[in-house]
Structure 1
Amino acid sequence: MMGRYQGKAWDRHFLPRLSKKEVEAIPKDQAVVVLPVGAMEQHGPHLPVFTDTLIGESYMTYAFEYLPDDAPIWLLPPLPYGKSNEHLGHFGTVSLSATTLMSVLLDIARSLKISGFRKLVLTNTHGGNADLLNMMGREIRVETGLEVYRLDPGGLGQAQAFFDPEEIRTDIHGGAVETSLVLAAVKHWVHLDVASDEIPHFPASPYLDLKKKAFAWVIDDLSASGTSGNAKLASEEKGKGMLEAGGKLIAQGLMEIAGFDLRSIRQELEKAYK
């Protein structure tokens, strides 16, 4: 696993490494800017509080290796704080309020617009951010005119090749999936000797499904350890496999976004109805 500022994501496609003249020279009509959003929050006794942000950085590191060198895709510094108030009260959690995160995202988007960019991709590796980011995509679109896309590494299905459906169903925080990914990213940050195995006994009901967000919860409603899932099933090999598979899918998605023009939908309609 390459470290931060190593590999194509950080050396060739990291927007902040450019001078203002280089940023000015980027052809903005095709350019895609990617903002990974993570979190700093507790992940049980065995994982670092930087887990979500680290996973997002790792997926980007892998994904950009699969992009052509001249791909018009630019990476912003990952946002290391998210809306993590469901974990407040656990040591190490640093949360932004919903309104603060909304303002930060809007300020970043406004700045990108002023620099001439048209396309923004919001990626996310913390479940507590998801609803807010979905909502903010449209708010940013309305206010700035930017095309806003969502592409979350955890929603691409790569974990299904490494874990059975029941583990995936209950693995929502600090379980085998995240533990495997951190093992693959920075192995010595993981304390497997105290890895947790705690499965919430929530109902197997379509009306009370945890992953479908059928009810509001904080982590203390679900868990004594601060986790949900069996981290003892984790392995570095599974983590590397997920990063490889997810990286390829992310790269494919980013290239499709780069080649897509939202304006084309309206243009085709206008042609059809002339």
Structure 2
Amino acid sequence: MFSRYEGTAWEARFLPRLSSREIAELPKEKALVILSIGAVEQHGPHLPVMTDALIGEALLTRTMEKLNADLPIWLLPPLAYGKSNEHTGFAGTISLSSSTLQHVILDIAHSLRLSGFHKLLLLNSHGGNVDLLNLVSREIRIATGMTVFYIMPHQLDSFEDILAEEEREFGIHGGDYETSLLKAIKPHWVSDAYAVKEIPDMQKYRYLTLEGKVRFAWKTADISASGVMGDATSATADKGTLFMERITDQLAQALVELCDFDIAQLNSFRTPKELHSQ
């Protein structure tokens, strides 16, 4: 079971735990700073509104336990609130505007750069943040020169052997995946009696999808009465544990790669003078 602010992640890798002097003295050439960004929003009648933010924190906590102690990876306090206005009208949803969230992330990045850091990972656990984080990542790169990465951890694995095809396509909110994770992370926060299955009726469309191919703008109330998109009734703690272990295994490997990555090495262009000297 997940306990907040305990264990390796928060004792050995929590950047604000250090003093200003200690942070100034850190080696920063390969140091990777991680900002987890989630959401506080409705997740159907059975899950807490903290679901997305909690999943991001729990995944990072477990991942840090799988890393070598000498890797220069540091965690910032998670940003719980995200852009969640698609869930407006459902009680408990607290949303930042896109401009507010963008400026908060930009300000955090600028502050990190002033402290000497060069690499930032935006770890996102809420689908409604995706488009904005794609945009803001490049804005940070242009404004600060930092190398910026962004990731949704569940995309590291397809889970084809665990989730039904319908669930992989349409189970994007409060369904089997998220409910299973919450059963593994904080089981007493899940109200099993209220779990539902609600799948948007998209089967007749060849091109239109919720998150791929040809997309259309929607708010949750357009496509779900319960606030759920997926099958929460199929969720189990065992599946949640499996999701957690498989994602964090791959995320741990990915973080090693990010620490070693040097964006300057991608540009193989050589000037005419350099080519002539070969």
TM range (shorter): over 0.9
Residue aligning to 1:154: 154
Output the CA distance in 2 between the equivalents of 1:115 and 1:193.
49
- Indicate if the aligned counterparts of 1:34 and 1:123 stay in contact, CA closer than 8 A: yes
CA distance, structure 1, for counterparts of residue 158 and residue 55 of structure 2 = 14
**Structure 1 residue identity aligned to 2:263:** L
For residues 95 and 181 of structure 1, the distance between their equivalents in structure 2, rounded to whole angstroms, comes to: 23
State how far apart, in whole Å, the 2-side matches of 1:88 and 1:172 are: 17
Structure 1: 5+ residue runs without aligned partners? none
Q: Match of 1:31, as an amino acid?
A: A
Q: Secondary structure at the match of 2:148?
A: strand
- The corresponding residue for 1:247 is 248
Q: Aligned AA for 1:119?
A: K
Q: Are 1:223 and 2:189 an aligned pair?
A: no
Query: 2:197: which partner in 1?
Result: 197
Partner of 1:210: 210
CA 1:158–1:16: 2 relative to 1, 3 Å: farther
What percent identity do the matched residue pairs reach?
A: 49
Q: Unpaired segments of 5 or more residues in structure 2?
A: none
Give the corresponding residue for 1:103.
103
CA shift digits 1:234-269 (9 cap, x unpaired): 000100111111001111111100011111223x43
SS where residue 169 of structure 1 aligns? helix
Matched residue SS, 2:269: helix
- Partner residue, 1:66: 66
Letter of the 1:252 counterpart: Q
Q: Establish whether residue 237 from structure 1 lines up as the match of residue 238 from structure 2.
A: yes
User: Size of the alignment, in residue pairs?
Assistant: 273
SS at match of 1:36: strand
Counterpart AA for 2:243: M
CA RMSD, 1 decimal:
1.4
* CA pair 157-222 structure 1, distance change in 2 beyond 3 A: same
> 1:62-90 CA deviation, whole Å, 9 max, x = no partner?
11111101111111111100000000111
Task: Report the secondary structure of 1:161's partner residue.
Answer: coil
Tell me which residue corresponds to 2:47.
47
Q: Secondary structure in 2 aligned to 1:99?
A: helix
Q: Does the CA contact (< 8 Å) of 1:158 and 1:242 recur in 2?
A: no
1:256 aligns with 2:243: no
Residue 169 of structure 2: aligned partner? 169
- Normalising to structure 1: TM-score of the pair? 0.96
Q: 1:146 to 1:197 in 2, by over 3 A?
A: same
Partner of 2:85: 85
Q: Which moved more, 1:243-252 or 1:152-161?
A: 152-161
Q: Do the aligned partners of 1:181 and 1:239 also contact (CA within 8 Å) in 2?
A: yes
Take 1:46 and 1:58, find their aligned partners in 2: how far apart are those partners?
A: 19
Using the TM superposition, name which of 202-211 and 140-149 deviates more. Answer: 202-211
Residue 168 of structure 1, CA deviation: 1.3
Q: Is the 8 A contact 2:43 2:49 kept in 1?
A: yes
Q: Which amino acid aligns with 2:48?
A: P
Counterparts in 2 of 1:160 and 1:9: CA distance versus 1, 3 Å? farther
Letter in 1 for 2:15: L
Q: Is the 8 A contact 1:158 1:246 kept in 2?
A: no
1:23 and 2:19 correspond: no
Q: Look at both structures and tell me which one has the larger radius of gyration over its CA atoms.
A: 2
- 1:184 and 2:165 correspond: no
Instruction: In structure 2, give the amino acid aligned to 1:219.
Output: T
Take 1:84 and 1:269, find their aligned partners in 2: how far apart are those partners?
42
Deviations 1:28-85 (A, max 9, x none): 1110001111000000100000000000011101111111011111111111000000
> Measured at CA, do residues 183 and 20 of structure 1 come closer, stay the same or move farther in structure 2, by a change above 3 Å?
same
Structure 1 stretches of 4+ moved >6 Å = none
**How far off its partner does 1:158 sit?**
5.0
